[in-house]
Amino acid sequence: MLQRSLPTGFAPCLPTKTDELPSGSQWLHEIKHDGFRVIAGKNGPRVRLYSRPGNDLTHRFPLIVETLARLRSRSCIIDGEAVACDDNGVASFDLIRHHRANESVFLYAFDLIELNGDDLRRDPLEVRKATLASIVAKASPGIRFNEHIEGDGPPSSPMPARWGSKVSWRNERIRPSVWGARATGSR
């Protein structure tokens, strides 16, 4: 069971650059969008957003905060990427970095760490993602589920153009994650 306070020094799982990506059916492929990594926490009516190094981003992204507060769970911790999109719907790091779209920044949610007091980090990634998908299914516009591709994919294939991304991650889908460690990824 996690402590009932929101995380301030939470160490998310990070991608590692590699020349050879793992293959096989136990892997899934996720998008790493051009934005800010965010740990979003809700504890009752209290909502907090933290950056990877632990900076409080709560007041910077009101749309994410409002949407997280409306989720039906008593508490949750979601790992994701705060993203601002340009006029073509493509993630733009410059928009988010220069505070030009703070009111419209949304969260691409890709992992669920805690739900209603239960620490889910020991559960397989595919179980956490399925639970996350059901929790945020109606949460739009402030939180969106980060799509993934299951199974073995060619390591050099580009991600679908509609995802508008330059980076992909590969995560083992059946084993628990080791938080604060590195997952296999590519740039």
**Residues catalogued as catalytic:** 32
Burial class from Cβ neighbours inside 10 Å (0-12, 13-18, 19+) for residue 1 reads exposed
> In the structure encoding, which two tokens stand for residue 84, read together?
């601002």
**Cα–Cα distance for residue pair 114/157, rounded to 1 Å:** 33
Q: Which residue has the tokens 């508008």?
A: 164
- How many other β-carbons are positioned within 10 Å of the β-carbon of residue 163? 16
**Cα–Cα distance for residue pair 57/50, rounded to 1 Å:** 5
**Cα–Cα distance for residue pair 179/145, rounded to 1 Å:** 20
- E-state strands within the chain: 14-17, 27-32, 36-43, 46-51, 75-83, 106-115, 118-119, 143-145, 148-150, 167-172, 182-186
Q: Which residue has the tokens 């330059």?
A: 166
